[in-house]
């Protein structure tokens, strides 16, 4: 199955737009795990098991593993995901951005070493920094477009005066992803939930590409507004959702650290259920 086919199957099976972000910080682990980087796999595996039937995707953030020399734990974690949630695609959040043979090595890292289904990329160096990932049949790639951090304005909201119509940088990236750069049909965009108007604009310019939307939960993005702005689809006669433009709405810390006690996995499931229900309600508006 291609990445988009996996998304469609996971959406149908789990009836969800929720992406569970895995940003493991040992300082925030519960109980006896606290401060122990050797327990990163154990912590994340418990979260995965608790939310396997609720998630549209899982998104491990590579820096949280690499900073603690836990890359082997990440490899084990992706393998564990394949066992307990084989229907849920895995997006490696690495935000790579380099050219030529270096980009090819990063593609090997994401798709062969870790075995992920999609990856996040910076498009700053242009198409030749993206193209090596598109050679991988069926693999997804999400380009940073309009990110949730305030500093995104420094570049993403600037006009391109030498391009017809003088679009803003993020608008130009959206058009490229919808059109000439989308060689394998699996390209998507990262757009923050904290900017719902810009999110709606990206969806207007890129009506069919999947949008990976961080910023819901601890960052304060409004889940319902996010769905209204970024998701496009219908409900079938049996009431199930069919997307024409996927919205993969990520929540990380609000789910991971819903409790600091031994009930952390149960609390994570409850928070994931609450967020999934909020997103589903917005789909019906």
pLDDT tens per residue across all 285 residues of the chain: 999 999 999 999 999 999 999 999 999 999 999 999 999 999 999 999 999 999 999 999 999 999 999 999 999 999 999 999 999 999 999 999 999 899 999 999 999 999 999 999 999 999 999 999 999 999 999 999 998 888 888 888 898 877 777 799 999 999 999 999 999 999 999 999 888 899 999 999 999 999 999 977 655 568 788 888 888 876 665 666 667 789 999 999 999 999 999 999 999 999 999 999 999 888 876
Closest by Cα among 228, 225, 222, 224 to 245: 228
Please give the positions annotated as active site. 95
Torsion of CA 94, 64, 267, 7, to 10 degrees: 20
**Strand, coil or helix: 146:** strand
User: Which residues does residue 138 pair with via DSSP β-bridges, in sequence order?
Assistant: none
Domain 3-283 matching CATH 3.30.70.520: the answer reads no
Q: Which residues lie closer than 8 Å to 9 by C-beta, 6 or more apart? A: 1, 87
* 50-87 burial code (b ≥16 CB/10 A, e <16): bbbbbbbbbbbbbebbeebebeebbeebbeebeeebee
* pLDDT computed for residue 34 by the predictor: 96
């Amino acid at each position: 199955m291609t990445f988009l086919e996996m998304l469609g199957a996971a959406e149908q099976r789990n009836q969800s737009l929720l992406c569970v972000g895995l940003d493991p910080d040992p300082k925030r682990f519960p109980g006896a795990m606290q401060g122990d980087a050797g327990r990163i796999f154990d912590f994340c595996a418990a979260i995965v098991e608790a939310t396997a039937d609720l998630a549209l995707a899982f998104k491990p953030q590579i820096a949280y593993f690499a900073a603690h020399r836990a890359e082997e734990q990440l490899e084990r974690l992706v393998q564990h995901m394949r066992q307990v949630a084989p229907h849920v695609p895995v997006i490696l959040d690495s935000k790579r951005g380099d050219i030529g043979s270096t980009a090819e090595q990063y593609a090997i890292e994401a798709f062969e070493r870790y075995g992920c289904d999609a990856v996040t990329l910076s498009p700053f160096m242009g198409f030749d920094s993206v193209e090596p990932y598109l050679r991988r049949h069926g693999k997804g790639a999400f380009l940073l477009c309009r990110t949730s951090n305030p500093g995104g304005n420094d570049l993403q909201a600037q006009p391109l005066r030498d391009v017809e119509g003088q679009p803003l940088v993020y608008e130009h990236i959206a058009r490229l992803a919808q059109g000439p750069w989308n060689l394998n049909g699996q390209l998507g965009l990262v757009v923050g939930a904290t900017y719902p108007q810009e999110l709606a604009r990206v969806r207007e310019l890129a009506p069919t590409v999947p949008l990976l939307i961080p910023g819901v939960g601890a960052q304060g993005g409004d889940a319902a507004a996010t769905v209204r702005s970024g998701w496009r689809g219908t409900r079938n006669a049996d009431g199930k959702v069919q997307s024409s433009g996927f919205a993969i709405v990520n929540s990380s810390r609000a789910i991971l650290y819903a409790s600091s006690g031994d009930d952390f996995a149960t609390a994570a499931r409850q928070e994931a259920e609450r967020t999934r229900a909020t997103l589903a309600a917005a789909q019906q508006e």
